[in-house]
Amino acid sequence: MKRKFMPFSVPSVGKEEAKAVASVIRSGWLTTGGKAREFEEEFKKLVGAKHAVALSSCTAALHLALEAIGIREGDRVMTSPMTFASTAEVIRYFGAEPVFVDVEPDTLNIDHEKLKRKTEELSARGLAPKAVMPVHYAGHPAEMDGIMQVAEKYGMRVIEDAAHAFPAKYRGRAVGAIGDITCFSFYATKNITTGEGGMAVTGNPQWAERMRVMSLHGISKDAWRRYSSEGTWRYEITAPGYKYNMTDISAAIGLEQLKKLDSLQIRRREIADSYDRAFAGLPFFKKTAVRRHVEHALHLYVIALNPEALRIGRDGFVEELKKLGIGTSVHFIPLHIHPYYKEAFGYGPEDFPEAFGAYKRIISLPLYPSMKEEDVWRVIKAVTETAGRFSA
């Protein structure tokens, strides 16, 4: 029996979002306006931040964050290799250098002890880095106490890539209320979506204002005010900015998603718990750890294959699951083994052995709120039976 292919990810959008979009279209105001402002207000309350700027993507948010803190050509910025293209490419936009630091083997988040050693070493050589960009891998907050201490000691700004980490908490504080600027993603696969979209939040009003201005061509007044009765035709270009604003169409979707946030997260938790129970006693897999002092956003459910218990590698395992109609993914192919970073900075795979070692064993399983109980059981059955067939 050939069953329908189960995609790795499906966004949880429905008639509420469709209705909200239709209403924006009827209003005649499609681009950045009242809905975008409303989305910023609601979002910043949820993460306990003073300022929020709605943007076209998390990549745009990360770029504007580095611009706001004054990253320049030749600067160094510390980050994790276990991340998506965005985190390091935005450093390259300035002609600055991404300096990778290996991850903790259990959470795959940047290792703050190694961050400390590398920052110390660079500072001693007069090459002090300007910023650190932790990535909250899979939705598990990075060790922010250790990271903030290193940052303070060496004068680094902390720009968080929280693309996976809404909503998440570290020692009772929401991700968004910890570092200098925190960047979220509303890409179609993320915990909440606006189709494409992102948000930068900060406690610093100057940085917030700079990001807002630079998100719209460096123009000092919002374009939407120019075309409403409150505005005039007059505007000033204060810097060569970018075009990174969020439309009201996207923001209207985002506002509906926020209303569903609690129920979406409850469903993610139920699915993750079912996986935990099903895989816990088996020798084939290792799940990434969850520290007691965090609230995990449960963006990804990642298993690592145990090579001693299996006669099949990661790539083969992914193929077997595909044959059984289960879509999976791998987060991430570490940045340092991609041709660009390898060639531009001369990295070898073993320069970051934890990231590279994990990469060879990890698989991300489907985890999204619209999965039915039978879908969850189908994944569990496919994973455990495949492991059983290839047991060593």
Residue 193, token pair as written in the block: 């979506």
User: Is-contact 362 330, C-beta < 8 A?
Assistant: yes
Among positions 33-72, residues that touch ligand PLP (CB under 6 A) are 57-59
Rule CB under 6 A: is residue 163 a binding residue for ligand PLP? yes
Catalytic residue among 35, 118, 169, 190: 190
Binding ligand PLP (rule: CB under 6 A), the pick from 32, 80, 86, 386 is 86
Binding ligand PLP (rule: CB under 6 A), the pick from 32, 79, 80, 83 is 83
Q: With CB under 6 A as the contact rule, which of the stretches 4-12, 79-87, 151-159, 239-247 interacts with ligand PLP?
A: 79-87
Nearer to ligand PLP, 80 or 386 (CB): 80
Q: With CB under 6 A as the contact rule, which of the stretches 81-89, 222-230, 252-260, 342-350 interacts with ligand PLP?
A: 81-89
Q: By CB under 6 A, how many residues form the interface with ligand PLP?
A: 14
Cβ partners under 8 Å of residue 6, min gap 6: 325, 326, 327, 366, 375, 378, 379
Is 94 exposed, middle or buried (CB count within 10 Å of its CB: 0-12, 13-18, 19+)? middle
Cα 16-378-307 angle, rounded to 5 deg: 120
Scanning the structure block, which residue is given the tokens 């569903």?
Answer: 260
The full DSSP string for 299-312 is --EEEEE-TTTBSS
Among positions 126-155, residues that touch ligand PLP (CB under 6 A) are 135
Cβ partners under 8 Å of residue 239, min gap 6: 213, 214, 218
Residue 42, token pair as written in the block: 């609601």
User: Is-contact 50 44, C-beta < 8 A?
Assistant: yes
Q: With CB under 6 A as the contact rule, which of the stretches 30-38, 83-91, 201-209, 368-376 interacts with ligand PLP?
A: 83-91
Nearer to ligand PLP, 43 or 279 (CB): 43
Nearer to ligand PLP, 88 or 310 (CB): 88
Binding ligand PLP (rule: CB under 6 A), the pick from 63, 112, 118, 164 is 164
**How many angstroms separate the CA atoms of 214 and 245, rounded?**
9
- Quote the least distance from Cβ 38 to ligand PLP, whole Å: 20
Q: Which of 82, 88, 115, 118 is nearest to 358 (CA)?
A: 82
Nearer to ligand PLP, 185 or 250 (CB): 185
- Quote the least distance from Cβ 188 to ligand PLP, whole Å: 9
Tell me phi and psi for residue 159, to 5 degrees: -110, 115
Nearer to ligand PLP, 84 or 285 (CB): 84
3-state secondary structure of 167: coil
- Quote the least distance from Cβ 388 to ligand PLP, whole Å: 32
Nearer to ligand PLP, 184 or 207 (CB): 184
User: Is-contact 123 149, C-beta < 8 A?
Assistant: no
What residue ranges in 94-219 does DSSP mark as E strands?
Answer: 97-100, 131-133, 157-161, 169-170, 173-174, 181-185, 198-202
Residue 190 annotated to the active site? yes
User: Is-contact 271 376, C-beta < 8 A?
Assistant: yes
Nearer to ligand PLP, 87 or 250 (CB): 87
Q: Binding string, 224-263, against ligand PLP, x = CB under 6 A?
A: ----------------------------------------
- Quote the least distance from Cβ 300 to ligand PLP, whole Å: 9
Rule CB under 6 A: is residue 198 a binding residue for ligand PLP? yes
The catalytic residue positions are 190
What are the residues binding ligand PLP (CB under 6 A)? 57-59, 83-84, 86-87, 135, 161, 163-164, 185, 187, 198
